[in-house]
Amino acid sequence: MVQHLHARLVCSGCKGELAQSDTALQCRRCQAAYTIEHRYVSMLDRREQVDRPSDWDRKAGEIRDYAEISNSLALSGIGRFATFLNYGYVPTGNEQHAAIEPDEVWNRNSVKLLLEVVGGTAIRERDVIDIGCGRGGNIAALHKYFKPLSMVGLDICPANIAYCSAKSRLTEASYLVGDAENIPFADESFDVVLNIESAHAYPNRARFYQEVYRILRHGGVFLYTELMLEEEVVQNVRLLEEAGLSVIRNQDVTSNVLLSCDENAEQRTGAQGIANNANASTKMEDINDFIALPGSKKYEEMKEGTRQYRMMNLVKR
């Protein structure tokens, strides 16, 4: 890990200082232990299994689902290229914020989504964390287009982090298994927090927003996209503001995301697509909804406007 950030790693639970041995990190204050595996360090606080079992069950479900996706992608032969797990963005006539246009052919819509949420935010020479980083596509694109000083990818699914660690050649980037609600970094460690299509899975959204506020430096920016029910938009803005963050942009980009879902449909249902390589125990309906295929519940709700894809920029003043 980039040295100056390594020094800012703390206990996920009590935020105490850590002591390191060859195989583990241990909190000097609460004694929580974190394991150093072959391809990753796991900063998951296992006490949650006992303290908040229903929250943990949801998180364990995410870990299982994404491990299965990782497996399907490896089997399909396209795993090497499948570095994004989001819906993507296709321009329409609405207001655009990206300062740069993507030059990718493969994964273009996902890179465009990233460039849109970044907009005019200063990223160069900044410390950035991508929470729910998935398979690392956003970190690679941030490096390509903006050259941050350092980047951390945090994700709850070990299979995703193992993939990122094995694939990445960037000395500026490091990857950790960890939970968005218990971020293992000291207060004021980052200039930019990125979170793309991940927060819907967090049982306690308020806690996540408080963690984002805590790890941001003053003047730092939170770049955030999520699909929300219409009535959840106001609730989320309230929670973000209660956490101390000020909204500087809150845009409905559902029409852009729908267009991208239309474009993705063919690729994702083709011979090598995720829909044809999922584990037989996964219901087709769930897969279609997960990838928001035209005709699925999620896609139709977006079309009707009862579900909105929100793109937000917030600042810690």
Ligand X SMILES: C[S@@+](CC[C@H](N)C(=O)[O-])C[C@H]1O[C@@H](n2cnc3c(N)ncnc32)[C@H](O)[C@@H]1O
Residues of the shown chain interacting with ligand X in the complex, contacts defined by CB under 6 A: 59, 62, 66, 84-86, 131-134, 137-138, 154-157, 160, 179-181, 196-198, 201-202
Output 210 or 219, the one with its CB closest to ligand X: 210
Closest residue by Cα to residue 2 from 168, 246, 239, 233: 168
Pairing of strands 127-131, 150-155: parallel
Q: Tokens 């980047």 map to which residue?
A: 151
User: Helix or strand or coil: residue 233?
Assistant: helix
Q: Closest approach of Cβ 102 to ligand X, in Å?
A: 14
Least Å distance, CB 156 to ligand X, is 4
Nearer to ligand X, 180 or 278 (CB): 180
- Rounded to whole angstroms, the Cα distance separating 219 from 234 reads 24
Residue (157 or 261) nearer to ligand X, CB: 157
CB of 247 to ligand X, least distance (A): 21
Nearer to ligand X (CB atom), residue 123 or residue 131: 131
Q: Which residue, among 210, 190, 199, has the nearest Cα to 156 in the 3D structure?
A: 199
What is the nearest approach in angstroms of ligand X to the Cβ of residue 22? 26
Quote the least distance from Cβ 207 to ligand X, whole Å: 10
Shortest distance in whole angstroms from residue 138 CB to ligand X:
5
- Minimum CB distance to ligand X, residue 63 (Å): 7
Residue 23 or 265: the one with the smaller Cβ distance to ligand X is 265
Dihedral sign from CA coordinates of 156, 160, 162, 168: negative
Cβ-based nearer residue to ligand X, 32 or 114: 114
Return the number of the residue (3 or 183) whose C-beta is nearest ligand X: 183
Query: For residues 186 and 180, is the Cβ–Cβ distance under 8 A?
Result: no
Paired with 225 in beta bridges are 196, 311
Distance from first CA to last CA of the chain, Å, rounded?
A: 28
Residue nearest to ligand X (CB): 134
Q: State the Cα–Cα distance between residues 174 and 164, nearest whole angstrom.
A: 9
**Strands of the 246-252 sheet, one edge to the other:** 18-20, 24-27, 33-36, 41-42, 173-177, 150-155, 127-131, 190-196, 216-229, 307-315, 246-252
